[in-house]
Homo-oligomer: A and B are copies of this chain.
Amino acid sequence: MYDGYKSLMICNSLCASVAKSIMIPVKEARDIVLSQVPILGTEKVDLFSALGRVLAENIAAPYNVPPHDNSAMDGYAVRTEDVRNASRDLPEVLDVLEDLPAGYVSQHRLEARQAIRIMTGASIPEGANAVIRVEDTERAEGNRVRIFKAVPPRYDIRVAGEDIRKGEVILQKGTVFRPAEVGLLASLGKSFAQVYQRVQVAILATGDELVEPDEPLQPGKIINSNSYALAALVLETGAIPIQLGIARDSQADLEAKFSAGLRADMMISSGGVSVGDYDLVKDILNQSGAAMEFWQVCMKPGKPLAFGSISGKPTFGLPGNPVSSMVSYEIFVRPALLKMMGHARIYRAVISATMEEELKKTDARKHFMRVTLHQENGKYLASTTGAQGSGILSSMAKANGLAVIDEARMVVKAGEEVPVMMLDQSFGMSNDRDF
């Protein structure tokens, strides 16, 4: 179990010397973030738009499913007493009153030694109390049928309300929509659902050194990849990115871009929050109307990480390094967005994996190491993607997990277990199939 107090002590005693401001533990920072973000309101959307969204209401069945007793198979509706001695050698022969296609209701009442040809899903005619499957019958001359099998009452009849009883809550508030939920609501005559709204997230890159991917790369400049990676993460989380572009290192430009972003539900900037950085972003985050909660988190990568609110909107100042900003997103922004959109399960799956190599930490922060996970004989094995520099974006493309090395754990020997946060929702998908 996590020991918040112990971590805090380790963090403060071992990390404080390298920081001018207070560096808080990951768990504490996440608790602050989650306590500050609101759950958004709801909206009515069509069933397809509801995929991946969270249901904001309990849905009760408006009627029984199936609405009437109906046939589970294609065959003949019969009275069981008429066929109680039927066998393949000694079939019972019944009169066929009619062929009832699917979708139609019989106007007849079944009398002794009568049968009605019936399709799967068709209502059971009055008087009938079982269905004989077509493969246990044979049509005979003179509009009759040979029945080869005896069955008990209700055999191959789906009873009204068997699947769902009228008034029963069939989907609970909080359910995440998948195709099965779409089908289930459609089957109850519902074309829309009330779900939680999607978060709009304004994304801002900062710095005179940045150029956009489609601009010439002059010496000293680097390409703004953070906005794109963050926007893709926001999309993957199910929220709506608004890319504000690049704010230059001037008070006026930063103020203009931040204010353009504050109509969104959340603001994310990247860059400009390190100890040594020019103070323009920090000035913005400290201006009137802003209330910052923390500036540094005891983690690697991602130590410089500001969070608070500006004009009441949750605002993240993520580090400028590409890997740091993506990892910070995973640890803090993703759970926050999922909470805002009504999700209960807001954390990535974590599995326990065997480390294939030795890991050594050089500080007492909590490390999130990029690893490649694979499965062998039902066990998970993890190896690092190589150098863990926070500028090495290619390592994020190689990784499908983040190994979590706690504050107090300075060495992980090869063969030891580590918890790994799964980054890849398709992990375990295969190009081979045994069955």
Query: Could you tell me which A residues sit within 8 Å of B by CB distance?
Result: 1-2, 18-20, 26-27, 30, 47-48, 51, 63, 65-68, 72-75, 101-105, 119-123, 133-135, 158, 162-164, 170-171, 175-176, 178-191, 207-210, 213-214, 217, 219-233, 235-236, 249, 274-278, 320-322, 326, 335, 344-352, 366, 378, 387, 389, 391-394, 396-397, 399, 404, 406, 419, 422-435
Contact = CB atoms under 8 A, between A and B. Distances in A.
A396 B190 CA distance: 17
Given A51-B235, A180-B229, A223 B188 contact: yes
A195 to B, nearest CB: 14
Contact of A391 (B72, B346, B406): B72
Between A66, A184, A348, the greatest number of chain B beta carbons within 10 A of the residue's beta carbon is seen for A184
Given A158-B391, A219-B123, A391-B163, A349 B427 contact: yes
B233 A213 contact: no
Contacts of A133: 276
Nearest to A17: B135
B220 A366 contact: no
A179 B232 contact: yes
B391 A66 contact: yes
Contacts of A171: 397
A364 to B, nearest CB: 14
Nearest to A180: B396
Between A20, A74, A428, the greatest number of chain B beta carbons within 10 A of the residue's beta carbon is seen for A428
Between A20, A105, A163, A179, the greatest number of chain B beta carbons within 10 A of the residue's beta carbon is seen for A179
B187 A429 contact: no
A398 B162 CA distance: 16
A207 B214 CA distance: 53
Nearest to A223: B187
B428 A422 contact: yes
A226 B133 CA distance: 23
A180 B393 contact: yes
B187 A103 contact: no
B179 A326 contact: yes
B422 A435 contact: no
Given A274-B120, A276-B74, A397-B180, A48 B186 contact: no
A191 B214 contact: yes
A66 B222 contact: yes
A162 B224 contact: no
A170 B103 contact: no
B321 A163 contact: no
A73 to B, nearest CB: 7
